[in-house]
A and B are shown apart, each in its own frame.
Chain A
Amino acid sequence: AQSVTQLDSHVSVSEGTPVLLRCNYSSSYSPSLFWYVQHPNKGLQLLLKYTSAATLVKGINGFEAEFKKSETSFHLTKPSAHMSDAAEYFCVVSEDSYSGGGADGLTFGKGTHLIIQP
């Protein structure tokens, strides 16, 4: 069975400073990993995904994440935070090597609330 642990429920940074959201995963197989963002009253949006290609994955809006198998981690980073980045971020794992979650669906972490201070 797969699982995801997001190590921080809340992260607060100042605008213009780096962002680090931490995620550890557990999976029996070679997983696919994702980061989704959820803004208030809006649907979940895919930021980036890892599906066994390059371990450093670049996503939208300047975000990137590095897959580290030895540490079972998939941390999300951004060099410079913007006020519009304030949202809920979810780390997600899928057992299959594709993006859809297959018959077991996607497994979400509990989320990290990112706060941007002006």
Chain B
Amino acid sequence: DAGVTQSPTHLIKTRGQHVTLRCSPISGHKSVSWYQQVLGQGPQFIFQYYEKEERGRGNFPDRFSARQFPNYSSELNVNALLLGDSALYLCASSLAPTYEQYFGPGTRLTVT
């Protein structure tokens, strides 16, 4: 079975630009969560979506937003990029919010 997939694998953006990251969950999973992993740190929770609704949000500014589509895939959007947004962005899917999360390989974002 295919695992969680994320695209793109890598991308480079300039300060002030906008970026969209995409995630496809495991088939049958209805919940998607997003995490930010800065180099040398553990992942930090950004959002959780379930059945297309936001169910949880971490301590991130409003520049970060996300949505979930009817096919349960998800997008993470970041506006007005800052150098500090450079990180590995991880997507995790699960059957529902209280079930085990399965992580994708991540998208490496570099902001210059």
Docked Cα-Cα span, A63 to B12, in Å, equals 38
Q: Is the CB of A43 within 8 A of B106?
A: yes
Q: Is the CB of B45 within 8 A of A107?
A: yes
Whole-angstrom distance from the CB of B15 to the nearest CB of chain A?
26
Is residue B58 within 8 Å, beta carbon to beta carbon, of the partner chain?
yes
Number of A-B contacts (CB under 8 A): 79
Interface residues of chain B, those whose CB is within 8 Å of chain A, are: 3-4, 31, 33, 35, 40-46, 48, 55-56, 58, 90, 92, 94, 96-106
Docked Cα-Cα span, A93 to B60, in Å, equals 19
5 contacts between A and B (CB under 8 A): A44-B90, A92-B42, A99-B98, A104-B45, A110-B40
Which has the most chain B C-beta neighbours within 10 Å: A44, A46, A90, A96?
A44
The 9 closest A-B pairs by CB, nearest first: A105-B45, A108-B42, A103-B56, A98-B98, A44-B103, A99-B100, A43-B103, A100-B98, A43-B105
Q: Is the CB of A43 within 8 A of B45?
A: no
Is residue A102 within 8 Å, beta carbon to beta carbon, of the partner chain?
yes
Across-interface contacts of B106 in A (CB, < 8 A): 43
Q: Is the CB of B42 within 8 A of A103?
A: no
With beta carbons under 8 angstroms apart, the residue of B3, B97, B102 that contacts A102 is B97
Q: Is the CB of B42 within 8 A of A111?
A: yes
Is residue A61 within 8 Å, beta carbon to beta carbon, of the partner chain?
no
Bits for A4-39, please: 1 = Cβ < 8 Å to B, else 0: 100000000000000000000000000000001000
Docked Cα-Cα span, A4 to B43, in Å, equals 12
Across-interface contacts of A90 in B (CB, < 8 A): 42-43
With beta carbons under 8 angstroms apart, the residue of B33, B43, B90, B101 that contacts A99 is B101
Whole-angstrom distance from the CB of B110 to the nearest CB of chain A?
15
Q: Is the CB of A46 within 8 A of B100?
A: yes
With beta carbons under 8 angstroms apart, the residue of A36, A101, A109 that contacts B45 is A101
